[in-house]
Structure 1
């Protein structure tokens, strides 16, 4: 099944990890990709500009009440949780931090699992805490595809290892395997 959306979470080392994955998406990639990276509060989110220059698909900061469009990478704004509503639209929230983070990966993953069920792919990349573990478990429980960066190759293995512990059915993959998996989703 081709997913209706892909969600990706990263923390420490995440920009480097995403730099190996997102620019590899071909221009014909038609699945929306929602990304949470732990970024400091009250800082301009330079990720959109950074990845916009590197990627063949559109890159933007997620906006409240926006309807997801294919072929677009949506980054969570600094200091806002990124959620997916039941109708597939985006919602932003300034509710309490989760796992000491806002935006939190678990919030995105859990709401996307509720919205898309088995038509969702979730990917947990490098990071130094446990954010994303419960969310990936929710994706797996909803029948979605759960992927983690192989902990042994992650810059900071804590987050992928925690996600594997919570979601043992998740597939541990190298960057090349993740990139190939995503590129195959764009195949005609």
Structure 2
């Protein structure tokens, strides 16, 4: 059960609730750790997850990937990098008069692979309730713009900013 302060109280099976710090230490005890340390990872029936680690008196429950979709952000960064490589290779070709085909081919391959993986990841999340219709719209528009050098790099950055801001937007 969640408290008004956003903390978790857990029923240990013998009719009283314990604070999550005590529950985490209980898990650490059974793992053979010092009572100073503990952690747990729970998953709810609808896919929600809670994870906490304790070191002394400090709760380490702000695990970034519990807030942000680290997989989607990784795909964003890979797509941006691929598109930037393609764009830079084309820009170099314009100034030198020659094409740097290796850079163009590698950048395009990286970009398109990351874009396809990002689309699949988001639509899989849409099916399981971990992604919203807005997530699907943003990734779809980005996927349409991503193949175009320069424009794709900008759209990739917009996608990245959206993925970073999405968990901070109420109802997002």
TM-score (norm 1): 0.24
The structure that has the greater radius of gyration is 2
Higher strand fraction (1 or 2): 1
Higher helix fraction (1 or 2): 2
Higher RCO (CA 8 Å, separation ≥ 6 residues): 1
TM-score (norm 2): 0.26
